[in-house]
Amino acid sequence: MRTFYKVLIAILVVLALCISPFVIAPIANNIKAQSFISEVKKSAFPASTEVLEVVGGVGNTSGTGNHVELLAAVLVKSDLTLEQLRDYYRADSIENDYVLNNAIIQVTETTQTTSSMDILNLTFKNFENISSDDNLYIIQKIESAVFSTFDLRGN
């Protein structure tokens, strides 16, 4: 009987070791995502640009599978043009690695999210309080997740 319990405990330990990465990885990626979103909120934005809302998430932002990214999308109101914003972030990307994977789009009545936001089901809640005359843009930043292999959101 004693041998039976030793074998049972060994099987349970092996099973726990096999399953634990799939439990720990999503938790670690969620923690990293919150840190990433906070970092994006605190980052420098161009002059004449007001941050209205920041949303973020973890998942496969491209829909191709086998990897997970962290996404932060910032809704801004700016007096700058789309090209001026893109120029600002190209110059800024030299100093901030997380800006390298960015997209900047102008918000219109039909475009209020990016395709990566759509994949992660992220939306801005702030659109009810915004005039259609505002110069609104989405600045999207993407970073690789910590434990992409064991996070099942990438498959």
Burial class (CB in 10 A: 0-12, 13-18, 19+), 6: exposed
Residue range 17-70, pLDDT digits in tens: 888 788 888 888 888 889 999 988 888 888 899 999 999 988 888 767 778 888
Per-domain residue ranges for the chain? 2-154
Mean pLDDT of the chain: 81
For the chain, the distance separating the N- and C-terminal CA atoms, rounded to the nearest angstrom, is 42
For residue 153, give the DSSP letter.
Answer: G
Question: Does the pTM of the predicted model rise above 0.85?
Answer: no
Alpha-carbon torsion angle 8, 12, 15, 19, nearest 10: 170
129 Cβ contact list (under 8 Å, min separation 6) = none
